[in-house]
């Protein structure tokens, strides 16, 4: 069964809760409510041939309602089809059914979304952080997480246990200048610091030209 036929089957089975998205560069996608996710995934694997979960990722649309989305990129090895599933997840209840029982590859993907965005996956066999340490109180991929980071206590098992401190951004090696039309001035790798970049220009009236 090819991807367009699979979408038709889903719409027949689940009604208008399945909203087809515009085709982009040959990729098909559907939007669906989170309470339909597990049943839809089972149908796609058992009846439509989508036997591989290629990727799963969370998205933080900070300021929108619902704030979060989870995207599932499915692949059919039998008919070389691809399908993207998208569900909305509210900030006040960031819980989604785990699809690990359908595709085992979801295990680490869901742990990553839990770790970095704070999304929880109901029914996951071992939902724990995968990059940050247990007990870390923040979620670094959320849009309201500052670029400089947030302070937090390191685990007692760390080699240099102590506190993670906020990284200085003013004049740091990755501090780019904003509000200028010259891309070379915005490039943070041109000089180690913004002040060093300014001092490298002999004529102070032409600092914007670097």
pTM confidence score? 0.78
Q: Which fold has domain 3-131?
A: Beta Polymerase; domain 2 (3.30.460)
Q: What is the pLDDT of residue 149?
A: 79
Q: How confident is the model at residue 87 (pLDDT cuts 50, 70, 90)?
A: very high
Query: With 60 as the cut, is the pLDDT of residue 13 above it?
Result: yes
User: Span 131-157, mean pLDDT?
Assistant: 86
* Cβ proximity of 58 and 117 under 8 Å: yes
Q: How confident is the model at residue 25 (pLDDT cuts 50, 70, 90)?
A: confident
The whole-angstrom separation of Cα 53 and Cα 77 is 11
Per-residue pLDDT tens digits for 170-201: 544 445 555 555 655 555 544 555 566 556 55
Residue 29's CB: how many other CB atoms inside 10 A? 20
Percent of the chain predicted with pLDDT > 90:
62
Query: With 50 as the cut, is the pLDDT of residue 117 above it?
Result: yes
Residue 145 phi, psi (nearest 5) = -85, 120
Query: With 90 as the cut, is the pLDDT of residue 88 above it?
Result: yes
First to last CA, the chain: 57
């Amino acid at each position: 069964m090819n991807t367009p036929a699979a979408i038709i089957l889903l719409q027949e089975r689940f009604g208008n809760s399945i909203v087809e998205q515009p085709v982009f560069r040959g990729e098909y996608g559907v939007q669906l409510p989170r309470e339909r996710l597990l049943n839809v995934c089972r149908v796609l694997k058992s009846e439509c041939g989508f036997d591989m979960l290629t990727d799963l990722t969370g998205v933080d649309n900070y300021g929108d309602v619902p704030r979060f989305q989870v995207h599932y990129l499915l692949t059919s090895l039998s008919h070389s089809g691809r399908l993207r599933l998208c569900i909305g997840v509210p900030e006040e209840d960031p819980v989604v059914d785990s699809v690990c029982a359908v595709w085992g590859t979801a295990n680490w993907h869901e742990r990553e979304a839990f770790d970095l965005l704070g999304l929880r996956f109901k029914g996951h066999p071992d939902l724990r952080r995968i990059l940050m340490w247990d007990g870390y109180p923040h979620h670094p991929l959320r849009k309201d997480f500052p670029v400089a980071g947030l302070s937090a206590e390191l685990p007692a098992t760390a080699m240099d246990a102590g506190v993670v401190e906020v990284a200085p951004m003013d004049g740091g090696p990755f501090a780019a200048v904003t509000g200028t039309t010259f891309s070379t001035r915005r490039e943070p790798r041109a000089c180690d610091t913004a002040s060093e970049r300014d001092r490298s220009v002999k004529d102070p009236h032409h600092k914007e030209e670097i």
